[in-house]
Structure 1
């Protein structure tokens, strides 16, 4: 039995870490399957994942081949069984959509010609620019039911609950992504009729008539008005369409789940994956969360899985992954753990043009951060490449293959299409060794947090459908985009993490905001915020909560109607705004307890008059105020209503004034170190550190004022990550601390990866360490200190034996 409980994945009652690699069986010759599986196992993975392309398995209507009658490599059942024979779990991803660079995103060609009504139109009745469809079109659902009747017939007998190896089933893929990236909502006749019914259920008749001044029951008029909305109701449509599509996607996912269960699939998690990264950044990833959180939280038995492509993790974007994980956790149900079902790995040369070459540490860095934050499943995508064969019936599209990437596919993978190992393979092997050595600990650990949370408002990311000709829609979306992502992530989140703060996120739109559990809220804010949410913030402050609000003080609700509830409570009134330009160089200077800091240039500031409190920031030349410290009730708010850049010292000062000190502190003057800790309920811990820079660093770490490693310094090579034990039990022995990483354990010995010029591993317990040629043993009170005799840079493998 597989359970999702307490943010853990339990298999037969035991918490597990799932390290998976994506192998597309249909892109390999059948005789190549075993070789790729061998390489996956050698990389330290315990699971295989694969899409199941409907396009390949039913190229002609009604002719389904899941057992290799037409092509040997299409024998899905044999591939899953082979993985089980190799003691590997399996995650199956049967669509209907799979993307994976497939034609039609994996849907058969005949589907579009047989059912043209499923093909959407968008704004102004323009054809959809992508190969998307209306998910809830009756004819599409009928065909999806037919597909599931076949593919679930292969899956159901092979479930883990029936002594098989399938441990999870993904439902569709990146639902809503195609409409988002093209800003082209699925506005079929079927959808708009359903939307009208939804509106009637959610609004009283008089309210609805005022919001939409036309006859919703007149199909032609309704469709014309909604596809080309007038300005008077455009902002309302932006709001309502976003809410409706969330609910519609949830219905679609529930329908697919009902089909799977109808054909015997139960007792394993159903996965909903979340899209949204763009151009190597995560600013847009929460759009996917906003679209799909109702889908994966609507009932028990679901897992949400990230799907991200960030390229290299460096100082400019490391906070993106941290926030992405935190926001997923903020919207998950209490029992749901973090997982990633498309965890980018490989060289990044997706065009096979020598145009990209990720640093070898790239996959390791991202995996280490994600596991530190509580990810229980990582599916390395794409683990190995393959080939796109020719369609059985030419479609005259330029290559007539199943995908648009040419003959070879997955050229950036750690294992290339021909089966050769890339330079990115070995770092994957090494980080998996580290995870596997303490997998039983990682499977139950949680990230430790300092007493603050980063605020998340899902509706701030509900901007994926905006009518290009609507000034109000575009103004709202533009302001939300300016304040929700780039500014706050670059300034707030980066500064907080570099200052050593460990924090989670809080969905303040749906979860209680209580000063007892969240004494300090750090909140990116736009000019628009729902009235009830503004009231929540006012109540939070009155009840002794502390708030750092960054961006703009809200003056309107989410539909652009005036609402200054929060500003009024704080005693703030609008006083204009300024933008920098090619001839005007906006600069801000600090005041009061925030001074002195050097004057900084910025591109925007919102100015306000304050009836009370202390001014902290002003425009350098005009004296207009855009930073404030204001008491409200028993609480305190610091407002930064401008685009203040990342300044670790400044934001640390503000957070400490609001009562939150970073638990972890290092003494390295130049920054570029990411640190966090994870722990079990019994107090076993791991310290996770990433050196984000390409040069070596030496530093000391203290926690809550007490030095770690008995005051010893740590050396970290450039672009290195470590996961160091603190109070970690190994049978009857305990590692009090270690500067080396565990990579293998047994009752008689442990193997570590050395990281220092001279590593020290401190043991406590009844057994003695056997002296060895490569290390010395010293007694230090109750601890046995193992001191390595070889520097890590020359040989980083060390085995320590016990009596």
Structure 2
């Protein structure tokens, strides 16, 4: 029984793998679980290699010499015998519900100084450390000295199964979810000295020596207390500086790990990966925060980034967050740089054994197809097989003394249960996996076609992981960013684009030069938030003058990311923005389409909105046309504005997700779907892809709860001979090869 004829190549192949934790299984069970993994159709296995598990109380490491369940080499050999490639995940952090986040207990016991101090000097019980503290790096090097040579000896370039090694796990996640940045004296000193080096002592003093603060740039003893307990006059400056500083530190930390792995014998044939965190409350809406934290760590182009996706069912509610997360990740990668999902949820979702969350068996298939349609080339099922948590070698007196806080059984929501029996959805997992792996070469070669619309990813809008708990000013600033960024208010902009057939990609907007190379042959859709730096505003205006077409959906930016007035964009457009009309209890603003020379801007009645901003033009020319207005006052709130060789549609209102509205706005900018969708369901997603030799692959996914018939049309011609009957919550893909006039259905999921 073999899973593949050759080892997986994470840089070139489409790889579906499954996570199996050898250390949570009896060695006698390893062969059975791997045989079952082969039955699913996966061609690779991923596993953590936890520091916590392999470290003995005396500080030495055991890889099976004394305890058979730690015999990593035997596990790797069993994988190789079955043709399964391996992605090893040795930490140093592991998470995976392990205690101490997978770090050896010796680390903090011997080096308590590495534990980070947060706001107001608080030290949390979570394992939050200074990633760049010399003592922590020395401990990491000790662990790497033990584990990396073993992995290198079983790497693909030496005839072994290991094709990838992950560099740590969910870097920056714990400080984010606890709102506890590293503000230890050592880190704060590095922070202040870095600011002084890039500006001046006088500039830093002026920036932080404000309000009722004790900050004195000439006295390092004042730095920590002042910045750990900032005053309101400092918080937005600190918000920006600290966010950028930590992102640089994460990049330097990963560089240390990368160099350490390579120096210990891991050759270039083994891909290195970075794992990104960010799902929150069974949604991916917040996920771009993790991308913003870590995107510099894979900027070299040689490292593969992968997401962690935990959203349960894929439906119209969760669709925009998942779409933008993948699109924003792709925007941070180079053209030929692979990306994917390192933790792809494939279980029932009942992680607490409370039967309070249940994910349908079709969810994995929908998410898998969407990941591939958006260009992902690595999907790792997490978890594929459950197991049991053994006891720690050294009791810690925490109630169960096991390696994890989940109790004895672990991964009970996985398709392969801890005891080895199969979940009811296992057969469906097999079907979808085999369908993808059978078509892997074609699906990997078929990349998404250039869409008519690209979404702007403003990295600084997601720099919201830290906020001083004592500052109302910062809390309001962060709340505005979280409400309006990325997909716009209520995520409607992205939802309208995706179900409207536009299949948008994304572009990275990170600094004033971000639009220098952005083509003007497509619409840039941006949810700007009320805060957008002047240099980026000027870059947007210059891009439009060169012929770009810009859709702004949300409040018009009038401040920069530090709360100062920033009006470069409205000045370029000749706009004045009136006081916001916001929905409040007992009062709701309504917006109506305006009359243009061609009739109403769109067909429809008045619509209720969450907010609207009146817009007044300062320009005397005829280059501005109102498209919508506040129904009771007549004040315009959606405008079509000419600027140089380009155009801007400013939609300063929380418009609903009605196709006639968004199609009308995009048509004003010359954008139309590459493939038009005709369906009685507003939940069909179509992603056209194409191979270098012009084979057309069209992904069609119905995320709605309704069965539907879908007719597709490209350039006025039907894509298929007949409409496609697509069951609720199912997907298919179509293939049209050179010389064929119509596409054929290449995959259809089983029903029942």
Q: TM-score, normalised by structure 1?
A: 0.88
Aligned 8 A contact 2:681 2:704 in 1: no
2:285 paired with 1:283:
yes
1:707 equivalent to 2:712? Answer no
Are 2:559 and 1:556 aligned?
Answer: yes
Q: Which residue pairs with 1:186 in the alignment?
A: 182
Quote how far apart the aligned CAs of 1:246 are: 0.4
Q: Deviations over 1:688-741 (max 9, x none)?
A: 11122233212321112111123x12111222211222117xxxxx87655443
Q: Say whether 1:244 aligns with 2:245.
A: yes
Residues 312, 740 of structure 1: alpha-carbon distance in 2 compared, 3 angstrom cutoff: same
**Mapped contact 1:277–1:284 kept (Cα < 8 A):** yes
- Specify the alignment match of 2:53 in structure 1: 56
Are 1:609 and 2:626 counterparts? Answer: no
CA contact (8 A) 1:363 1:427 kept: no
Is 1:29 aligned to residue 29 of structure 2? no
Secondary structure at the counterpart of residue 325 of structure 2: helix
Q: Could you say which residue in structure 2 is the equivalent of 1:748?
A: none
SS at match of 1:187: coil
**CA deviation string 1:725-762 (max 9, x = no partner):** 2117xxxxx876554435xxxxxxxxxx5x7xxxxxxx
Alpha carbons 1:276, 1:285 under 8 Å: kept = yes
TM-fit CA distance, 1:239? 0.5
Secondary structure, aligned partner of 1:569? helix
CA offset at residue 676 of structure 1? 1.0
Taking a change above 3 Å as real, the CA distance of residues 82 and 515 of structure 1, as seen in their structure-2 partners, is: closer
Distance 1:670 1:45, change over 3 A: closer
In structure 1, distance between residues paired with 2:636 and 2:400:
61
With over 3 angstroms needed to count, the CA separation of the structure-2 counterparts of 1:513 and 1:653, relative to structure 1, is farther
Partner of 1:741: 746
Alpha-carbon offset, residue 609 of structure 1: 2.1
Post-superposition CA distance 1:332-370 (Å, at most 9, x none): 133312211111111111111222221111000000011
The answer to whether residue 171 in structure 2 is matched with residue 175 in structure 1 is yes
Q: Residues 631-671 of structure 1: CA distance to partner in whole angstroms, max 9, x if unpaired?
A: 11111111111221211221011111100111111222332
Cα displacement (A) at 1:622: 2.8
Shift of 1:206: 2.5
Inter-CA distance 544–300: structure 2 relative to 1 (3 Å threshold): closer
Instruction: Tell whether 2:334 aligns with 1:340.
Output: no
What CA distance in whole angstroms lies between the structure 1 residues aligned with 2:165 and 2:455? 32
2:156 equivalent in structure 1: 160
Q: Which residue matches 1:789? A: none
Deviation at residue 282 of structure 1 after TM alignment = 1.3
- Counterpart of 1:767 in structure 2 is none
Query: Does 2:82 match 1:97?
Result: no
User: What residue in structure 2 maps to residue 519 of structure 1?
Assistant: 522
- Give the structure 1 partner of residue 205 of structure 2: 209
Q: 1:620 aligns with which of 626, 631, 637?
A: 631
Distance 2:518 2:9 in 1: 39
Contact 1:515 1:543 in 2 (8 A): no
Q: Report whether the alignment pairs 1:125 with 2:121.
A: yes
Q: How does 1:307-706 map to 2 (within 5 A)?
A: 307-485=308-486, 487-488=488-489, 490-509=491-510, 511-514=514-517, 516-593=519-596, 594-612=601-619, 613-706=624-717
Tell me which residue corresponds to 1:782.
none
Greater Cα shift, 222-231 or 477-486: 477-486
Structure 2 equivalent of residue 255 of structure 1: 256
Q: 1:518: Cα distance to partner? A: 4.3
Counterpart-to-counterpart distance in 1, 2:551 and 2:242 = 31
The 3-state SS of whatever aligns with 2:579 is strand
- CA deviation vs aligned residue, 1:738-794 (integer Å, no higher than 9, x gap): 54435xxxxxxxxxx5x7xxxxxxxxxxxxxxxxxxxxxxxxxxxxxxxxxxxx879
Distance 1:41 1:342 in 2: 19
CA contact 1:450–1:660 (8 Å) conserved in 2:
no
Identify the residue that residue 212 of structure 2 maps to in structure 1: none
| Residue 476 of structure 1, CA deviation | 2.1
Cα deviation code 1:542-584 (max 9, x no counterpart): 1111111011111111111111000111111131112211122
Give yes or no for contact 1:573–1:608 (8 Å, CA) kept in 2. yes
Judge which range, 465-474 or 161-170, deviates more: 465-474
Aligned residues: 731
Q: 1-side partners of 2:137 and 2:33: how far apart? A: 35
Matched, 1:42 2:36: no
Taking the TM superposition and a 5 Å limit, the aligned residue runs for 1:66-145 are 66=63, 68-145=64-141
Q: What SS does the corresponding residue of 1:15 show, helix, strand or coil?
A: coil
Q: Compared with structure 1, are the counterparts of its residues 591 and 517 closer, same or farther at alpha carbon in structure 2 (3 Å cutoff)?
A: closer
* Deviation (angstroms), 1:11: 6.4
Structure 2 residue aligned with 1:198: 194
CA-based RMSD: 2.0
> Is the aligned partner of 1:726 residue 2:729?
no
Deviation per CA, 1:207-241: give whole Å up to 9, x if none: 22211223235232100001001222221110000
User: How far 1:92 sits from its partner (Å)?
Assistant: 0.4
Distance 1:481 1:28, change over 3 A: same
Secondary structure of 1:525's aligned partner: coil
1:209-228 mapped onto 2 (5 Å cutoff): 209-213=205-209, 214-228=215-229
Measure, in 2, the Cα distance between the counterparts of 1:452 and 1:189: 46
Q: Per-residue CA shift, 1:168-221, capped at 9, x if unaligned?
A: 110110000111111110111221121122212221333222112232352321
**Structure-2 separation of matches of 1:793 and 1:278:** 31
SS in 2 for 1:443: helix
Q: What SS does structure 2 have at the residue aligned with 1:375? A: coil
Pick closer, same or farther for the CA change 1:117–1:542 going to 2, 3 Å: same
Q: Structure 1 residues 261, 387: closer, same or farther in 2, change over 3 A?
A: same
In the TM superposition, residue 14 of structure 1 has moved relative to its aligned partner by 9.1
Q: Kindly provide the CA deviation profile for residues 505-535 of structure 1, in whole angstroms up to 9, marking residues without a partner as x.
A: 0112254355645431111111111111001
CA drift of 1:13 comes to 11
SS at match of 1:709: coil
Instruction: Tell me if the contact between 2:251 and 2:297 (Cα under 8 Å) persists in the aligned partners.
Output: yes
* TM-score normalised by the chain length of structure 2: 0.94
**Is the Cα–Cα contact under 8 Å of residues 97 and 105 in structure 1 kept in the other structure?**
yes
> Residues 120 and 132 of structure 1 are in contact (CA less than 8 Å); yes or no, is this contact kept in structure 2?
yes
Distance 1:317 1:542, change over 3 A: same
1:457 shift after superposition = 0.6
Q: Report deviation, 1:257.
A: 1.2
Instruction: Give the Cα–Cα distance (whole angstroms) in 2 for the partners of residues 259 and 668 of structure 1.
Output: 54
In structure 2, how many angstroms separate the alpha carbons of the residues matched to 1:36 and 1:738?
A: 39
Of Structure 1 and Structure 2, the greater strand share is in 1
SS of residue paired to 2:578: strand
Which segment is superposed worse, 613-622 or 640-649? 613-622
- Secondary structure at 1:143's aligned position in 2? helix
Contact 2:217 2:223 in 1 (8 A): yes
Question: Relative to structure 1, is the Cα distance of residues 14 and 532 closer, same or farther in structure 2, using a 3 angstrom cutoff?
Answer: closer
User: How far apart, in 2, do the equivalents of 1:252 and 1:278 lie?
Assistant: 25
